[in-house]
């Protein structure tokens, strides 16, 4: 049992540390600090970054008096950037700056919520963040005619999110400064910031986008601009289909039904546990049926002509 717990712990820790190091090297150090170094150099810096992150994580843990609070903080941060991780599969314009701005903004928002004692001061800080976002959008984007022609629809949606964020901050007082109540402020503010950062920064190189599209076939209206630049028709193997969306929804339902259902049974809450187990079985059946009807040969014949 001890070996199993240690293995589970190490798998999570190693994943998070390596993930964080990959962000720092591939999205920050390599493109902006040292561009043309050797691969050996990047590997060496990666090792140093992994060690530094491990030490930093250990130092931060000493300031955590409650493991539940740590999980709440972690959940709040993940919820703020989770939308970026989803949207990047459906919109070609999402780039590295989208993720960087989302991570930076959610950290600032969560820190402001947790450490600002005065409710008035908190509302001023959060509305100022959203206000500066709108000013940046107006100065570096909306006042340019060519920019408006390309991003007008996205700008209208972003302005709507900005207005929504300001309205929520000014009209709602959080019952508790913990997850999931923090999502009321964090999600719309983070969305407004990363959408603005995305439209005001350069897109990912078109060659990489085309290569990604050929490998993954994301499909949907958000990738139409890239799909139009490719002579081969990948629509038959697109991931953006009704079956896949249904499968994704019931996959999420199955996961949460299993987690909560087994928990209920272990705590002797028999009735809700049995109900959730029934939901789990139905969700698995629907997911399997979707997968069994998938035409895997179509995708194979296209990706390997």
Same-domain pairing of 280 and 162 = no
Residue-wise pLDDT tens digits, 181-210? 888 888 999 999 999 999 999 998 888 898
Same-domain pairing of 92 and 160 = yes
Residue 218 lies in a domain: no
b (16+ CB within 10 A) / e for 88-115? bbebbbbbbbbbbbbbebbbbbbebbee
Cα-based distances in Å from 110 to 72, 73, 118, 158: 10, 8, 15, 21
pLDDT at 79 over 80: no
Same-domain pairing of 165 and 95 = yes
Q: Categorize the per-residue pLDDT at 300 as very low, low, confident or very high, splitting at 50, 70 and 90.
A: very low
pLDDT at 257 over 90: yes
pLDDT at 240 over 70: no
Residue 213 lies in a domain: no
Same-domain pairing of 289 and 162 = no
Same-domain pairing of 168 and 250 = no
Same-domain pairing of 254 and 131 = no
Cα-based distances in Å from 149 to 141, 154, 305: 10, 11, 38
What span, in angstroms and rounded, lies between the C-alpha atoms of 141 and 147? 6
* Last-in-domain residue among 204, 236, 261: 204
Poorest-pLDDT segment among 154-158, 170-174, 225-229, 252-256: 225-229
* Last-in-domain residue among 204, 228, 258: 204
The whole domain housing 263 covers 246-303
Q: Which residue has the tokens 């986008």?
A: 209
Q: pTM for the whole thing?
A: 0.75
DSSP state of 88: T
Tokens of 129: 């963040």
Same-domain pairing of 286 and 263 = yes
pLDDT the model gives residue 167: 95
Residue 294 lies in a domain: yes
* Last-in-domain residue among 151, 181, 204: 204
Residue 221 lies in a domain: no
Residue-wise pLDDT tens digits, 96-131? 889 889 988 988 998 898 888 889 999 999 999 999
Residue 240 lies in a domain: no
Beta-carbon contacts of residue 272 (< 8 Å; ≥ 6 apart): 261, 264
Residue 237 lies in a domain: no
pLDDT the model gives residue 237: 61
Residues 70-74 have a mean pLDDT of 74
Same-domain pairing of 74 and 193 = yes
Tokens of 60: 């931060």
Residue 290 lies in a domain: yes
pLDDT at 244 over 60: yes
Same-domain pairing of 71 and 195 = yes
Same-domain pairing of 118 and 195 = yes
Same-domain pairing of 254 and 180 = no
pLDDT the model gives residue 305: 40
Residue 220 lies in a domain: no
> How many other C-beta atoms can be found within 10 angstroms of the C-beta atom of residue 40?
8
Contact assessment for residue 209 and residue 226, using Cβ atoms and an 8 Å cutoff: yes
Same-domain pairing of 85 and 53 = no
Tokens of 69: 């609070």
User: Total structural domains in the chain?
Assistant: 3
């Amino acid at each position: 049992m001890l070996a199993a717990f240690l293995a589970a712990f190490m798998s999570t820790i190693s994943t998070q540390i390596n993930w964080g190091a990959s962000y720092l090297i591939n999205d920050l150090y390599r493109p902006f600090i040292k561009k043309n170094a050797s691969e050996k150099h990047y590997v060496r810096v990666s090792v140093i970054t992994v060690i530094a992150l491990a030490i930093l994580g250990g130092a931060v843990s000493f300031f955590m008096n409650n493991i539940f609070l740590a999980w709440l903080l972690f959940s709040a941060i993940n919820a703020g950037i989770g939308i970026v991780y989803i949207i990047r599969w459906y919109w070609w314009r999402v780039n590295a700056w989208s993720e960087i701005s989302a991570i930076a903004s959610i950290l600032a928002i969560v820190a402001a919520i947790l450490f600002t004692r005065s409710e008035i001061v908190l509302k001023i800080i959060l509305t100022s963040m959203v206000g500066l976002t709108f000013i940046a959008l107006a100065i570096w984007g909306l006042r340019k005619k060519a920019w408006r022609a390309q991003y007008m629809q996205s700008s209208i949606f972003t302005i709507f999110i900005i207005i929504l964020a300001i309205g929520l901050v000014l009209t709602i007082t959080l019952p508790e400064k913990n997850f999931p109540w923090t999502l009321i402020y964090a999600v719309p503010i983070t969305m407004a910031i990363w959408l603005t950062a995305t439209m005001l920064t350069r897109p990912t190189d078109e060659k990489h986008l085309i290569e990604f599209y050929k490998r993954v076939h994301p499909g949907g209206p958000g990738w139409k601009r890239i799909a139009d630049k490719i002579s081969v028709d990948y629509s038959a193997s697109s991931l953006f289909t009704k079956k896949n969306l249904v499968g994704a929804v019931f996959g999420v339902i199955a996961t949460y039904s299993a987690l909560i259902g087994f928990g209920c049974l272990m705590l002797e809450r028999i009735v809700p546990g049995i109900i959730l187990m029934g939901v789990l079985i139905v969700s698995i059946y629907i997911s399997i049926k979707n997968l069994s009807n998938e035409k895997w040969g179509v995708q194979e014949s296209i990706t390997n002509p």
